[in-house]
Amino acid sequence: MSKSDQLFEQARQTIPGGVNSPVRAFNGVGGTPRFIDHADGAYLYDVDGQAYVDYIGSWGPMLLGHNHPAIKAAVIKAVEKGLSYGAPTEIEVLMAEKVRQIVPSMEQVRMVNSGTEATMSAIRLARGYTGRDKIVKFEGCYHGHADSLLVKAGSGALTLGQPNSPGVPADFAKHTLTCVFNDLDSVREAFIQYGNEIACIIVEPVAGNMNCIPPVPGFLEGLRAICDEFGSLLILDEVMTGFRVSLRGAQGHYNIEPDLTTLGKIIGAGMPVGAFGGKKKVMQHIAPTGPVYQAGTLSGNPVAMAAGLTMLELLLEPGLYEQLSAKTARVAEGLKAAATKHGIPLAITYVGGMFGFFFTEESDITRYEQVTRCDMERFKRFYHLMLEEGVYLAPSAYEAGFLSLAHGDKEIEHTLAAAERSFAKLAG
């Protein structure tokens, strides 16, 4: 029995499912999750001493690789001054200024402790600002686990939302309309029926929670136009895409100006941080300047700010995103070439530092329903073959993969050679 096996058994006694966030339990692929001892650069090291080239990067934050020396030094320096004060600090101001410098649509920024808090607060603000209750989200997009957002589409295209978790009151879910990602007609229909009741559209501009699905040309622009027409706010949930798809996130890459943006993951460099922000005239409605309540004992925590600010400063170095995109393209195209060589149909997607691969005959993946039709059994087998080869992919066919700048030739070559052997076994 491996040490991971032992720890998983032990963990399940005191932690539900043995994990503090469900996807870590490997339910999507079966088997025992690897318990991690430490991480460095592009690698994770498990408690049994096995090294893995990591394509999760703590689900996104590790854009510069694990254990980056400058970020570690900034954290240690901050820790020496105390862990939390519950009072304003200069570094919070510097952080807000840095975010606005990089993402100019975020004229004002409020720090929170997670992506969930960021989206939950942005939605409350959109509702408070517009005086409307309904929101529009997209099937397959994930925005954290706040009640309004754990909602699936009703059975008809335009029935009101239904909870997709027990514990979410149907009375809350009914305010959430769920449309089809990359299908503007479904959004227009929702607005024709409920337009002046809709506070906002919230969207992952590149969907990363249904594998990786970029927006089709015109989709984000269409959402912007519909929001303008009906006086609703456009919230780009850039918790995953922020500082990953480009320095200015997906809004920079696709040139879309949202009313509000939510950030997480990279903005904390691995510390528990999120943020939301946007137009000053909207942000002014948040307490204490406005009536929409939002708060946090540990928000703007000085240690987390030190990590995040150092990360953002490092990301300003010219040329980094060209490198990141080139590495991502090499991995995604390499996976496709290796699969094709062994007669395995595989579709790929990639933007900036995120990518997806799909075991399907279809070549152009733009819809959630296409993801649900993929060969999940093949994905699971491939996943475990790669894990045995020392490559750590997301343990679910519904998650995007992430690269870091620490992924060098050696790691990419190892990954593609491992993929080639794994596809050969799948084909055999």
Q: Which residues bind ligand PLP (CB under 6 A)?
A: 59, 114-116, 119, 142-144, 204, 208-209, 237, 239-240, 264, 274
The distance of closest approach from Cβ of residue 45 to ligand PLP in the complex, given in angstroms and rounded to an integer, is 24
In the complex with ligand PLP, which residue's Cβ is closer, 208 or 356? 208
Minimum distance of ligand PLP from residue 297's CB (angstroms): 17
Distance CA 363, CA 330 (A): 18
Residue 389 and residue 349 in contact, taking contact as beta carbons nearer than 8 Å: no
Packed helices 69-79 and 302-315: angle between N→C axes, nearest 10 degrees = 150
| Structure tokens, 154 | 């009703």
Distance CA 227, CA 79 (A): 44
Task: Given the residues 142, 254, 321, 350, select the one marked as catalytic.
Answer: 142
Distance CA 70, CA 310 (A): 7
Q: Which is nearer to ligand PLP, 116 or 246 (CB)?
A: 116
Q: State how far the Cα of 84 lies from the Cα of 78, in Å rounded to an integer.
A: 10
Least CB distance from residue 22 to ligand PLP, whole Å? 11
What sign for the dihedral angle of Cα 12, 16, 19, 24?
A: positive
Is 194 an annotated catalytic residue?
A: no
Smaller CB distance to ligand PLP: residue 274 or 395?
Answer: 274
Nearer to ligand PLP, 146 or 426 (CB): 146
DSSP states along 309-326: HHHHHHHTSTTHHHHHHH
Q: Give the orientation angle of helix 320-341 with respect to helix 409-427, to 10 degrees.
A: 20
Catalytic residue among 46, 54, 183, 237: 237
**C-beta of 264: minimal distance to ligand PLP in Å?**
5
Classify residue 337 as exposed, middle or buried by CB count within 10 Å of its CB (0-12, 13-18, 19+). Answer: middle
Determine whether 40 is an active site residue.
no
- In the complex, what is the shortest distance from the CB of residue 324 to ligand PLP, in angstroms, rounded to a whole number? 18
Q: State the residue number with the nearest CB to ligand PLP.
A: 115
Q: By C-beta, is 144 or 222 nearer to ligand PLP?
A: 144
Distance CA 3, CA 7 (A): 6
The residue among 209 and 396 lying less far from ligand PLP, judged by its C-beta, is 209
In 130-158, which positions are buried (b, 16+ CB within 10 angstroms) versus exposed (e)? bebebbbbbbbbbbbbbbbbbbbbbeeee
Shortest CB 111 distance to ligand PLP, Å: 13
Q: Which is nearer to ligand PLP, 213 or 385 (CB)?
A: 213
Least CB distance from residue 208 to ligand PLP, whole Å? 6
Q: Provide the 3-class DSSP secondary structure of residue 173.
A: helix
**Catalytic pick among 134, 265, 327, 380:** 265
Known catalytic membership, residue 48: no
**Where are the alpha helices (H) located in 131-284, listed in sequence order?**
170-173, 184-194, 219-230, 249-254, 280-283
Tokens of 142: 């994930």
Query: Which residues are marked as active site?
Result: 142, 237, 265
